[in-house]
Structure 1
Amino acid sequence: MGKQVIPPGGEGSIESVDLREALEERYLAYALSTIMHRALPDVRDGMKPVHRRILHAMRQLRLDPTAAFKKCARVVGDVIGKYHPHGDQSVYDALVRLAQDFAVRYPLVDGQGNFGTLDGDSPAAMRYTEARLTDVGARLLEGIDDDAVDFRDTYDGSEQEPVVLPGAFPNLLANGSTGIAVGMATSIPPHNVAEIAEAALLLIRNPATDLDALLAHVKGPDFPTGGIIVESPGSIRESYRTGRGSFRVRARWESEDLGRGTWQIVVTEIPFQVQKGKLVERIAELLEAKKLPLLGDVRDESADDVRLVLEPRVRTVDPVLLMESLFRLSDLEVRVPLNMNVLVGGQVPAVIGLKEAIQHWLDHRKVVIVRLARHRLEKVSHRLEVLDGFLIVYLDLDRVIRIIREEDDPKAELIVAFTLTDVQAEAILNMRLRSLRRLEEMEIRKEHTALSAEKASLEALIADEKAQWKKVADEVKVLRKVYGSETPLGKRRTDFAAAPEAPTVDILEAMIEREPITIVVSELGWVRALKGHVQDLSTVAFKQGDALKWVLRGETTDKLLVLSTGGKVYTLGCDKLPGGRGHGEPIKLMVDMEQGQEVAHVKLHRSGGKVLIVSKEGRGFVAAEDDILANTRKGKQVLGVDEAWPAMLMVAVEGDMVATIGENRKLAIFPLSQVTEMTRGRGVRLQRYKDGGLSDVKTFSGADGLTWIDAGGRTHTRSLDDLKDWTSDRGAAGRLPPPGFPRTNRFA
């Protein structure tokens, strides 16, 4: 062991500290610092400390909307030197964001120079860019010099900074906020000020106004980059009620006709906080990976406005289906979260709803208005006191002049001679000689009358809560007018729409490149897909002991229906079938087929079609193909069977008659209408057998007659008149087939 070092104070100066308690204490201090001084906005002004300090520093530099621009480096220097002891780049990034019209719905900073682009390009260095406040930024600071809010010491105690801004603008909802604290986060999307103003006026008139009344005006977020919200009204209401939720936002697009049947899609607005450059790169990657078979090309033709051009691969493509495939795979559709986690009263983190957010802002404005009124009343009372003194001495100016010229202590003598206050006497001594004119006395009396009326008005405002709320309402009405829906800045940019009801199946098919294929299934149940519609299969090889059983010609967008001997139907996407270079793969391994069961039959799915499913027993029923599609690997149980009589065939329904032939070589023909249509069960008896079971079944049109192919490849057709001896009701035993029927007991 090393030698123990005793501190200078001796062993008694060593203090034992519980490590767990020490860590908890320090972590709690860190968490509180992050929550209160970095990540969460104040519900009253909607700002975090860094943004509040930036605006305050710009106010100190007199960077009003009408003032000349100053270098951003000057602003950042003042912020980190006086108020915010952190890195200059983090402060500059915050300043830049306040000036970006694509990041902030109502910019607080008016920037001059390169402040970044929608493509994600970085802004120029702070030594090159300049800034000043916008009208919105000035409104947030309005009254800050008139005791509207409390101030506190800065980090080094050398300056004072505002605890909160007066906030004559609903910045929390209008511009939103995002942040990640310790154990909590906030995400508030921007909204339209005119709509918030309408809702605020409702709350002022009736604080008990319910959420539904507010949502009649605040329909949802209003993003600076526009877009279309495709969220249901019920979901939006629930989000605003609880303060948690999300909004599904899509790009705005239109189909542009190029003439001669050709067209292209033009995207004019992209979702909020999506970088256009990365969006185009992502679409190009998907195109190269062949995950967007309907899309031919993508181009960015943007200048001042967004213009992304999407060219279809073929002009017969449905534009809605093309866009739906893009919405699924790219950031042309995003979900913007809502988590209204804010600091209530500047101290307590809480998740609040829309109504509470507006009400907290209104309550803050009422407090500010009262404080401004009291501050103004103090100024007016002081001025009236001075004017009263002026009016008193104007009655005997000669005596005032004599006292000032002859007395050693003129101030005390004036107080005694004219019964003045200390403030009045000091003001008289500081009066200029030019103010002794008769005209000046008239101006003083006029000012006195006006200030007296203002004092009475201020006192009435401070004493009457209704008058205070009226004052708040008047301010809100001004906001509604200045940022109304008819103004360029206040006009709503984000619209609402219901998402197109494009079937999921269609979208998935649209994302598959359509190519002709030949599906080969062997006797042992191995499947593979050859490219193109192959006619000559003589060169197709199989494993030893295996041979060709089924050949199906279709496309990669088709689905393969597989009937097992256990009566289950499985669905395989033809685009996912193994290629034709090898022997393929066993179907049993591609689905969850139960032990001991085999592949009984396969066919390509026809949307809207019907099939006749039968068992070896000669029982079966008609089912709609769409109803027997399976969505999982486990398949869908359709035909009820037992071990002795497994499922056997699944043939397409074509026509109005059914022909069955048994292993006993008995043929029976009956109307299709006698076969029950259902989705699941054992079915009805099609043909009765004394020995053996079913061999084959076929549906056909009575008008065309029954057709079969003999062993020599010749086609035989018999009309219903020729087959009247074999035609009866279902469930008959049948009789030996006509001459020429193949010995295999198969129709083909």
Structure 2
Amino acid sequence: MGAMPDDFGQVEDLALGSALSERYLAYALSTIMSRSLPDVRDGLKPVHRRLIYAMHQLKLDPRSGFKKCARVVGDVIGKFHPHGDSAVYEALVRLAQDFAARYPLIEGQGNFGNIDGDNAAAMRYTESRLTEIAEYLLRGIDENAVDFRPTYDGEEQEPVVLPGAFPNLLANGASGIAVGMATSIPPHNAGEVCAAALHLIEKPEASTADLLNYLKGPDFPTGGELVEDEAVILNAYETGRGSLRTRAKWHKEDGKHGTWVIVVTEIPYQVQKSRLVEQIALLLTDKKLPLLGDIRDESAENIRLVLEPKNRTVDADMLMAALFRATQLESRFSLNMNVLDSGRTPRVMGLKALLRAWLDHRHEVLVRRTNHRLEAIGRRLEILDGYIKVFLNLDEVIRIIRFEDKPKEQLIATFELTEVQAEAILNMRLRALRKLEEMEIRNEHKKLAAEQKGLQALLKDESKRWAKIGAEIAEVKEKFGSGALGARRTKISEAAPVVEIVAEALVEREPITVILSEKGWIRAQKGHLSDGADLKFKEGDRLHTLLPCQSTDKIALLGTNGRVYSIKAADVPRGRGDGQAIRLIVELANEDGVLTLFVPDPAQKYLVASSSGRGFVLAGSELVSERRAGKIILTLKPDEEWALCVPANGDHVAVVGQNRKLLVFPLEQLPEMPRGAGVQLQKYKDGGLSDAKVFTLADGLSWTIGERVRIEQKLTEWLGARAAAGRLPPSGFPKSNKFG
């Protein structure tokens, strides 16, 4: 047993806070750098890089046979990645799923799961090998293109990063949650990424907007449609952060006798189809999608979700707008391009910085591969030089080898050879001594010398290097940016117009009658009831307002406190009971009453007035409020109430006061305002306003007595200016002082 270290058994006092923070920081850094964030150069996390490298070592290239995934996972865990087998296998499966990865790096054989969210078969049943894309990522790995480091047990070497001839980070995207940071990069079209990279090589000062002329936006493996403004997309790629709205792709299919269905053929990325169908079915059961009649999943290899409308009169765009709002047929992809840069530092990068980092990596790989090749050429040329010297003096070489005690030293001395050349000559086979071989050696020497000269010129000239990198990227663009794999799948559209579907799509349209009692109880019954309908109320209560309307209407409730409240007709409790207290639906104080209840017309203008006779003209669009507390329309003084709201159709106003004086004046003398105290309609010594009416002077002023309507044409003596006192009305005017 060896000697104990001097500090063995010593106990060091540490504050718990500092010890915890130090250890947690170490864990956080480990998670960020060795688990969750991809490298900007090859777009891979360590587990993916180790999987691909292990499969490369197993020679699982696209031209070889498949091997069991269990074998691959075993190699990854045993050699490189000391984590659980299920985590490694899940990473392998994801790289092989064509609905998860835009460009799969692994080709799977067997059950690798599906878009419904079903899991892959166990790794002992499935098999895998690398795809051509993965080969491009590995291209040059055996030519000193990248650095290697010892594995966790020090027995093997693993690459720090892959050479990355394929733009994997942007093409396949990445997502991960680290400690205190996360990443979420959408997949893109490889052809577009390469086109943007080529433009950046040509014009290094290009802006993000310039690059977006080539790279249009995300290209998800599941297709779908991106509905976002250009400005939003530009800002997201400029800053590296943003939120992009994606939608399912759908079309309308006509059936017999005017029937039709909607067929969804592509769904948003990372949405499980079975969950989506379940979500829609649940909302359908809960009657939250009244425009939808049924949903069927008729998918086979391709997605086909059939949505049946409630009836053929339903508007297809309205139905889809309701579904987009309520379900995952529309989802948001959070863009957060957080990556480890070439110095292994986490950074949020914009599109240009990501492309620049990849190009710089490709440049470094090219220089390293060129130097590696030059060294190999140098070694071979040295040997070939030795061979050429030998072929001029073959007999002497044979004599030295046969008869000298130390042939190697003698060869070096006689022909001025290097150690390497002498060793190579001694190892030559006899068959290589024929005359034909000399010609082949000279040809090889000439060819390698020319290659050496070309590579040295490449290292001296940066423009030649970038031209070569451009040619490599163009090759990738040609190979993976066209055909079935390279064709763009996600449609890029303008931001979708907002379809107002709050009432129409969430409520089934039907006729109802809203009943409000004097004591403030509100309820609704199906159908349009007549004024003489038999209605029951609580003892001592009676009818206040009977309002026939549609279930999709928004009702305006005018309070005597000068406020307007909006009530959705669909929210009014149904049934033959007493209903619900209006004060539980809107914030109406006990001392405030209800003036009236009606469905306002946004295109109509209204005359509103207080009990003291102050008023103004109001646009119908103002009679709406999104707040339970309502919106102030009439600013009231103490002891005033909102007394009147009548349609302002005509050119004159007739006002009658409680003092039974009638005044007629032009409507244009009243201001039109959205809210306020208004102006005086009529002057009173005592009392206030009784009633008012807007009418057309040429048609005469009408009022109702019982069932009879009387029209007064001669109104000259009552005509005056606003705020005048007025005169007693014509004989026959109702004793109620109301126009009826």
TM-score above 0.5, yes or no? yes
How far, CA to CA, are the matches of 2:503 and 2:156 in structure 1?
A: 63
Q: Call closer, same or farther: CA 1:315–1:502 in 2, change over 3 Å.
A: farther
How far, CA to CA, are the matches of 2:234 and 2:119 in structure 1?
A: 37
Given candidates 330, 335, 347, the residue that maps to 1:333 is 330
Given candidates 437, 440, 443, the residue that maps to 1:440 is 437
Residues 705, 717 of structure 1: 8 Å contact kept: no
Q: CA deviation at 1:694?
A: 2.0
1:746 paired with 2:738, answer yes
Residues 702, 720 of structure 1: 8 Å contact kept: no
How far, CA to CA, are the matches of 1:538 and 1:455 in structure 2?
A: 103
Q: CA deviation at 1:701?
A: 5.8
How far, CA to CA, are the matches of 1:503 and 1:660 in structure 2?
A: 42
How far, CA to CA, are the matches of 1:359 and 1:500 in structure 2?
A: 33
Q: Call closer, same or farther: CA 1:576–1:107 in 2, change over 3 Å.
A: same
Given candidates 473, 496, 499, the residue that maps to 1:500 is 496
How far, CA to CA, are the matches of 1:743 and 1:479 in structure 2?
A: 93
Consecutive unaligned residues of structure 1, counting only runs of 5 or more, are 1-8
Q: Among the aligned pairs, what percent are the same residue? A: 57
Moved more, 19-28 or 322-331: 19-28
The one-letter amino acid of 1:70's match is K
How far, CA to CA, are the matches of 2:665 and 2:708 in structure 1?
A: 19
Moved more, 198-207 or 218-227: 198-207
Q: Call closer, same or farther: CA 1:10–1:604 in 2, change over 3 Å.
A: closer
Moved more, 661-670 or 277-286: 661-670
Q: Call closer, same or farther: CA 1:11–1:34 in 2, change over 3 Å.
A: closer
- Counterpart for residue 398 of structure 2: 401
Moved more, 294-303 or 538-547: 538-547
- Counterpart for residue 257 of structure 1: 254
1:226 paired with 2:223, answer yes
How far, CA to CA, are the matches of 1:283 and 1:715 in structure 2?
A: 54
The one-letter amino acid of 1:499's match is A
How far, CA to CA, are the matches of 2:646 and 2:575 in structure 1?
A: 25
The one-letter amino acid of 2:507's match is I
- Counterpart for residue 130 of structure 2: 133
- Counterpart for residue 172 of structure 2: 175
- Counterpart for residue 62 of structure 2: 65
How far, CA to CA, are the matches of 2:584 and 2:328 in structure 1?
A: 36
- Counterpart for residue 5 of structure 1: none
The superposition leaves residues 159-217 of structure 1 with CA deviations (integer Å, 9 ceiling, x where unpaired) of 11111101111111111111111111111111112222122122222322222211221
Q: Call closer, same or farther: CA 1:650–1:204 in 2, change over 3 Å.
A: same
Q: CA deviation at 1:512?
A: 1.8
The one-letter amino acid of 2:603's match is G
Moved more, 642-651 or 82-91: 642-651
Q: CA deviation at 1:409?
A: 2.3
Q: Give the secondary structure class of the aligned counterpart of 2:629.
A: coil
Residues 255, 263 of structure 1: 8 Å contact kept: yes
Residues 566, 642 of structure 1: 8 Å contact kept: no
The superposition leaves residues 260-284 of structure 1 with CA deviations (integer Å, 9 ceiling, x where unpaired) of 4322211111111011110111011
- Counterpart for residue 642 of structure 1: 637
Moved more, 447-456 or 715-724: 715-724
- Counterpart for residue 3 of structure 2: none
How far, CA to CA, are the matches of 1:671 and 1:444 in structure 2?
A: 113
How far, CA to CA, are the matches of 1:406 and 1:702 in structure 2?
A: 139
Given candidates 93, 96, 99, the residue that maps to 1:99 is 96
Q: Give the secondary structure class of the aligned counterpart of 1:146.
A: coil
Moved more, 213-222 or 658-667: 658-667
How far, CA to CA, are the matches of 1:346 and 1:156 in structure 2?
A: 24
- Counterpart for residue 318 of structure 2: 321
Q: CA deviation at 1:674?
A: 4.8
Aligned length: 735
Q: Give the secondary structure class of the aligned counterpart of 1:334.
A: strand
Q: CA deviation at 1:689?
A: 3.8
Given candidates 521, 525, 531, the residue that maps to 1:530 is 525
Q: CA deviation at 1:611?
A: 1.9
Residues 224, 267 of structure 2: 8 Å contact kept: yes
Q: CA deviation at 1:556?
A: 1.8
Given candidates 448, 455, 459, the residue that maps to 2:452 is 455
- Counterpart for residue 552 of structure 1: 547
Q: How does 1:559-578 map to 2 (within 5 A)?
A: 559-578=554-573
Q: CA deviation at 1:527?
A: 2.2
Q: CA deviation at 1:39?
A: 0.4
Residues 653, 695 of structure 2: 8 Å contact kept: yes
Q: How does 1:696-715 map to 2 (within 5 A)?
A: 696-700=691-695, 708-710=703-705, 714-715=706-707
How far, CA to CA, are the matches of 1:123 and 1:560 in structure 2?
A: 54
Q: Give the secondary structure class of the aligned counterpart of 1:370.
A: helix
How far, CA to CA, are the matches of 1:167 and 1:419 in structure 2?
A: 44
Residues 531, 546 of structure 2: 8 Å contact kept: no
Given candidates 597, 615, 618, the residue that maps to 2:592 is 597
1:487 paired with 2:479, answer no
Q: CA deviation at 1:297?
A: 1.2
How far, CA to CA, are the matches of 1:602 and 1:232 in structure 2?
A: 41
- Counterpart for residue 708 of structure 2: 716
Q: Give the secondary structure class of the aligned counterpart of 2:708.
A: strand
Residues 42, 346 of structure 1: 8 Å contact kept: no
Q: CA deviation at 1:28?
A: 1.6
Given candidates 110, 118, 124, the residue that maps to 2:107 is 110
Residues 708, 715 of structure 1: 8 Å contact kept: no
Residues 163, 365 of structure 2: 8 Å contact kept: yes
- Counterpart for residue 79 of structure 1: 76
1:611 paired with 2:606, answer yes
The superposition leaves residues 112-156 of structure 1 with CA deviations (integer Å, 9 ceiling, x where unpaired) of 111111111111111221111111100000111111111111111
Q: Give the secondary structure class of the aligned counterpart of 1:145.
A: coil
- Counterpart for residue 510 of structure 2: 515
Given candidates 200, 225, 247, the residue that maps to 1:203 is 200
How far, CA to CA, are the matches of 2:619 and 2:583 in structure 1?
A: 24
- Counterpart for residue 294 of structure 1: 291
